[in-house]
Amino acid sequence: MEKAKRVSVYLFPVLLILITTLIKLNFTEIIGNRTPFLLYGGVVIAATWYSGWRIGLITNIVCVLLVVYFFIEPIYSFYVAPRIVVHLALFILQNTLVILMGLALKKSLKKSQSAETKLKLLLEEACDLIVLRDKNGKATYVSPRVLEITGYTPQEYMELSFDRLVEPEFLEMFTEKLNSISKTPNERQSVLALFKRKDGELRWLEGDVYNYLNREGINALVSHIKDVTHRVELERQKDEFIGLASHELKTPITNIKGFTALAKASIYTDSQKSEALLERSEANIKRLSKLVSDLLDISKINTGKQDYEFETFDLSFLLRDTVQSFALTYSGHIFSSEIESNAIVYGDRNRLEQVIINLIDNAIKYSPHSRQIIIKQKVMQSNVVVSVQDFGIGISEEHLQNIFNRFYRVDSSAMRFQGLGLGLFIAADILKRHQGNFWVESKQGEGSTFNFIIPLERACADLATTDNATFYRDSSISINYHYNDHYLEVRWLGFQTKETVNAAGLRILEYVKKTRAKLVFNDNSQVVGNWSETSDHGGNVWFPLIAEAGVQYFAWILSKNRFSNMAAQRSYEMNRSNIVIRLFDEEEDGLSWLKDQEVKSEMIS
């Protein structure tokens, strides 16, 4: 195609000159006998337009020669009489001017075209949605980003009226602002409103609207719109948190003031009463100092300045002591405990105590009608597992995945129970620092069990059994290649931490490469624990890596523990590879799906 175009650039002027000369030579009677300056001038213009100024110049010279040779007396000679020289010079000058004009025109056309392309690219690639409206508010241009932000195509968006887009409570403010900005040329205003996407989801959109109605070349109201839902949500959480924190701080302060004033008044008359009042005051001081230290912890976690003092100690002693002091303080509650001895860990004693206190505190707080709390500690697989069970209000599944987030409080409990939604977030951070993990089992109305796991100190080196080709097993994973059915069976064994998940991921990759397996049977049914940080890495990096090593189908058997599935679910959603992944509750279903894929892929190949 390119080549044909290049040839035509040369061919076009040659043909043009040939045809013009032949016509002029053979049809003199019809077109007259005058010197054909005008005709050849046209040839030069056409050649310049089509083939560029260089070929235009050459055409100009060829035409002059032809005119001199064929049409100026004496014909068939290159002799030019002096009186003709002026005509000839004018002819050359006129054609050169035409060529120069063409050149300038082409340049400016190119410039404006490239400016237009740049502008178009800018509008299309901009992170913001850009909308141009005329003075009546009708959209005249909508950038493609609209699809991502609102779910509508530009065409659909242009045809929608504001009442279909903007939520009713914002409609009046929105149209008023738009009207007012359209009356003030060259002004800018920001508008924030709640919009309804095509799929019905509500999003906060913020637009900067510029009145360029009078600006030559634009003549429009230009809006830069972005989705600020996340920011608005954070601001709302922050405001709510400040309100809540002030309230939470004010209550114990008021109590302390009241109780100490009363105690002071009765210190000489009724010492028993004043002692009781001081005790209540002390309890409020404790609550206050817990709130303040939680707030300090949060800011330290944010800045990465949380200090830890690691030492070797027996967690079972710490747990027994903590349960005992709770039993003394909350004599109305029944604390049963099953604590295995010899849980030697390497950790920060105070921080782990903080985690345990927070779990037991919550178990008491969120069980207004039940008095029983069960605390267990077991040593398993070179780890120690601690659980705190209550029979209180429980947590519904939809909230489970959020309760370890900062400031998160389940709506229904936020109304009834004091708290800032920081305790579990801090606990999760402490457990991360101990290479630990956590998970929850809960049913609304029936109670919850909060669990955490941390490794024992000097956990005996993980003894692996392997044939270095098709089989591998350690305490967290087993890998086995099935020759006959051509699939790699991977079983995750029990408790997992961030470290075990990362190491096992690499191990699977190694065996995929060794066995060249295309099918993976990945069994999570025995997994407990949730490590969501590894999920994104799993989807973004690990799946593409095993895809590159040849895996095509991945049957994923979910854990029986719902909380543990959250990380798996996220990895699955983040999958950036071409691997076909299917989630199953039952082992048999996953296996038979995998075998079907093998048959299909064999048929294809």
- DSSP count for the chain of H helices, then E strands: 21, 19
Q: What's the closest the beta carbon of residue 398 comes to ligand ADP, in angstroms?
A: 12
* Residue sitting closest to ligand ADP (CB): 419
From the number of C-beta atoms within 10 Å of its C-beta (0-12, 13-18, 19+), residue 588 rates as exposed
Phi, psi values for residue 292, rounded to 5°: -65, -40
Distances (CA, A) of 552 to 248, 449, 521, 577: 54, 38, 11, 9
In the complex, minimum distance from the CB of residue 373 to ligand ADP, in angstroms, rounded to a whole number? 9
If the CB atoms of residues 59 and 358 are measured against ligand ADP, the closer one turns out to be 358
- In the bound complex, what is the minimum distance in angstroms from residue 284's beta carbon to ligand ADP? 16
Q: Closest CB to ligand ADP among 318 and 420?
A: 420
Residues lying near ligand ADP in the complex (CB under 6 A): 358, 362-363, 366, 390, 392-395, 403, 408-410, 413, 419-425, 448
**Beta carbon nearer to ligand ADP, 403 or 581:** 403
Quote the least distance from Cβ 236 to ligand ADP, whole Å.
17
Least distance in Å: CB of 327 to ligand ADP?
18
- Of 53 and 408, which CB lies nearer to ligand ADP in the complex structure? 408
CB-CB contact of 390 with 370 (8 Å): yes
3-state secondary structure at position 137: coil
> Shortest distance, CB of residue 410 to ligand ADP, whole angstroms?
3
Question: Are 488 and 470 spatial neighbours (Cβ–Cβ below 8 Å)?
Answer: no
- 388: helix, strand or coil: strand
Peptide bond into 74 cis (omega under 30): yes
CB 244 within 8 A of CB 420: yes
Q: Could you tell me which residues come within 8 angstroms of residue 10 by beta carbon, excluding any fewer than 6 positions away?
A: 51, 55
Considering beta carbons, is residue 451 or 475 the nearer one to ligand ADP? Answer: 451
Which lies closer to ligand ADP via its Cβ, residue 129 or residue 422?
422
Q: Kindly tell me which of 63 and 427 has the beta carbon lying closer to ligand ADP.
A: 427
Strands in 383-390's sheet, in edge-to-edge order, are 334-339, 372-380, 383-390, 447-455, 437-443
Closest separation in Å from C-beta 359 to ligand ADP: 7
Nearest CB to ligand ADP, comparing residues 40 and 425: 425
Tokens of 4: 């044909």
Cβ of residue 340: shortest distance to ligand ADP, in angstroms?
Answer: 23
